[in-house]
Amino acid sequence: MGAGKSTLGVDLSARIGRTFVDVDEAIETQEGVSIAEVFRERGEAAFRGLEEERTCALLRGTPPAVMSLGGGALGSAATRAALAERAITVFVPVDVDAAWERTRESDRPLAQEEAEFRRLYDERQPLYRETADAVARDVHDAVLAAAGVAVERGVLARLGELVPGEGPVALVSDPHVGGIHGADAQLALGRRLAETHELPQGEAAKTTAAVERLWRGLRVKRDAALVALGGGATTDAAGFAAATYLRGIPWVPVPSTLLAQVDAAIGGKTAIDLPEAKNLVGAFHWPVRTVVDPALLATLPERERREGMAEVVKAGLLAGEQLWELREDELVRRAAAFKAAVCLRDPHDEGERAILNLGHTFAHALEAAAGYEEVTHGRAVALGLLAALRLSGRPVDPVEDALDPKPVWVDRERAWAALQRDKKRGLVLLGDEGPHWDVQVPEQDVRRALDELICH
């Protein structure tokens, strides 16, 4: 009571594109009277019966939705069982004084007398913690919970319990990350660790040959989960192996670069490259859990951190918030939550998820013109963001201040030819009310924006 579940629930449902159901309101609609009246006229036991029946029916019969439960609903064993089977349960903690202040003047039947309110609060806390799959301080935590993403410094130590189920685990990493963080992951998996595998370091992991070696090395059965520890190349390739091995086994990315923590490991896209193009073969395979430990970034070279910052700035521009100015742990949490929300709204990339390409059409053109070697993806994205901001008629200082991208030496005609191949879907631009995708922009404006990114 008084934790702010309804406010947070409405906000969450808008962010992840689901309807919002308030169980108390559903009961009032069904009974045609207020909860206070049900309590007064029929007593608490009758109310609890109604609450259990409505909650279980809604849990079993509603398409994915955000549901706000009454504070006493978890007293029912049937409700707890239905939650375990059908829901991701998020606990929204509140301090008892704040909760009392917020509810004391309401007509809530169990918030009329302070001593009783405090007793109930103490009695219910352990039940909330036991039942909850995640704890949410705010809507960003709730979005992450809905996406199955655990973000917390030190969370790697809990990997064994965070991989859902009790089955065996195949751990996949690259030799470099495995050498630094592999032992901690193995220790955390404990007895569940059945086998370990290596993919080559970096983009070399995303080849058919590397994935074939992994497929052929795997011994686990379908009761197992694959855990992918590493950067975006590792999570992309291992995630693809998980999507295809035995027609698909569950997987858990443990991203270890900033880019993978805020982007690559979130949203269920897995892929490998072909000589013809990057990410040409892949699958949508949403992880059963994603374990994001910002402490892993302590060993990340500065060069790799900059790659990730370009995506953080992109997420911040799309969200309309200066995410890039936050401290590292918070920056990871917020940027990951932003991407998770977009992907929950459009899991199969059929519409709005296209906004995540902000600046990327230009970036791909520059990379293609440079032959993918001389221009890092992060620098190309930073330049692409400059172009997107200019075409949107917005100041470019956020990108200049946070990323300071310098123009690149590439062949203008090659870049222009590559951009025209990629531009079929239109561009992503920023408007006053947020991003638009599939925007058709006059050719000469696009050409000018591209030219400004290239050294004269």
By CB under 6 A, residue 344 contacts ligand NAD: no
Identify which of residues 74 and 315 has a Cβ nearer to ligand NAD in the complex: 315
Q: In sequence order, what are the beta bridge partners of 284?
A: 269
> Binding to ligand NAD by residue 405, rule CB under 6 A?
no
Q: Are 422 and 361 in contact (CB under 8 A)?
A: yes
Minimum Å gap between C-beta 216 and ligand NAD is 22
By CB under 6 A, is residue 328 in contact with ligand NAD? no
Q: Does residue 178 touch ligand NAD according to CB under 6 A?
A: no
Determine the Cα–Cα distance for residues 280 and 168; give it in Å rounded to an integer. Answer: 31
As a whole number of angstroms, the distance between CA 411 and CA 427 comes to: 22
In the three-class reduction of DSSP (H, G, I as helix; E, B as strand; rest coil), residue 228 is classed as: strand
CB of 111 to ligand NAD, least distance (A): 45
Exactly one of 231, 384, 405, 435 binds ligand NAD (CB under 6 A); that residue is: 231
Q: Report the residue from 236, 306, 391, 392 that binds ligand NAD according to the rule CB under 6 A.
A: 236
Q: Would you call 104 helix, strand, or coil by DSSP?
A: coil
Is 103 a binding residue for ligand NAD by CB under 6 A? The answer is: no
DSSP 259-285: HIIIIITSSSEEEEEETTEEEEEEEE-
Closest of 291, 294, 293, 323 to residue 309, by C-alpha: 323
* Closest CB 451 distance from ligand NAD, rounded Å: 26
Q: For residues 33 and 336, what is the distance between their CA atoms, to the nearest angstrom?
A: 42
Residue corresponding to tokens 């009310």? 433
- Cβ count near 167 (within 10 Å): 16
- The residue among 143, 146, 179, 289 whose CA lies nearest residue 227 is 289
The one-letter amino acid at 163: V
Identity of the residue, 90 or 418, whose beta carbon is nearer to ligand NAD in the bound complex = 418
Binding flag, residue 233, ligand NAD (CB under 6 A): yes
Alpha-carbon torsion, ordered 172, 173, 178, 180, to 10 deg: -130
Kindly report the backbone phi and psi dihedral angles of residue 389, in degrees, each rounded to the nearest multiple of 5, phi listed first.
Answer: -65, -45
Q: With binding defined as CB under 6 A, does residue 232 bind ligand NAD?
A: yes
Indicate which single residue of 34, 62, 131, 279 sits in contact with ligand NAD (rule: CB under 6 A): 279
Closest by Cα among 334, 255, 263, 237 to 297: 255
Kindly indicate which of the ranges 25-33, 174-182, 403-411, 440-448 contains the residues binding ligand NAD, using the contact rule CB under 6 A. Answer: 174-182
Interface with ligand NAD, residue 234, by CB under 6 A: yes
- Based on the shown chain and the rule CB under 6 A, indicate whether residue 293 belongs to the binding site for ligand NAD: no
296 lies in the site for ligand NAD, by CB under 6 A: yes
Strand, coil or helix: 226: strand
- Give the residue, chosen from 52, 203, 329, 330, that forms a contact with ligand NAD under the rule CB under 6 A: 203
CB of 266 to ligand NAD, least distance (A): 7
- Does position 260 interact with ligand NAD (CB under 6 A)? The reply is yes
Q: Which residues contact 207 (CB under 8 A, 6 or more apart)?
A: 200, 272, 273
Indicate the residue among 86 and 176 with the shorter CB distance to ligand NAD: 176
Candidates 140, 269, 289, 333; binder of ligand NAD (CB under 6 A) is 269
Residue 238 found at the interface with ligand NAD (CB under 6 A): no
| 157 binding ligand NAD? (CB under 6 A) | no
CB under 6 A: which stretch of 1-9, 144-152, 251-259, 345-353 binds ligand NAD? 251-259
**Residue from the set 176, 213, 423, 436 that interacts with ligand NAD by CB under 6 A:** 176
Number of residues that bind ligand NAD (CB under 6 A): 29
CA-CA distance, 300 to 45, in Å (whole number)? 57
Q: How far apart are CA 146 and CA 204, in angstroms?
A: 32
Stretch that binds ligand NAD, among 1-9, 17-25, 46-54, 293-301 (CB under 6 A): 293-301
Q: Kindly state whether residue 257 participates in binding ligand NAD, applying the rule CB under 6 A.
A: yes
For ligand NAD, the closer of residues 14 and 281 by Cβ is: 281
Maximum Cα interatomic distance, the chain, rounded to a whole number of Å: 81
By CB under 6 A, is residue 307 in contact with ligand NAD?
A: yes
Using a 10 angstrom Cβ sphere, with 0-12 exposed, 13-18 middle and 19 or more buried, the burial of residue 423 is middle
Report the interface residues with ligand NAD, using CB under 6 A: 174, 176-177, 180, 201-203, 206, 230-234, 236, 256-257, 259-260, 263-264, 267, 269, 278-279, 296, 299-300, 304, 307
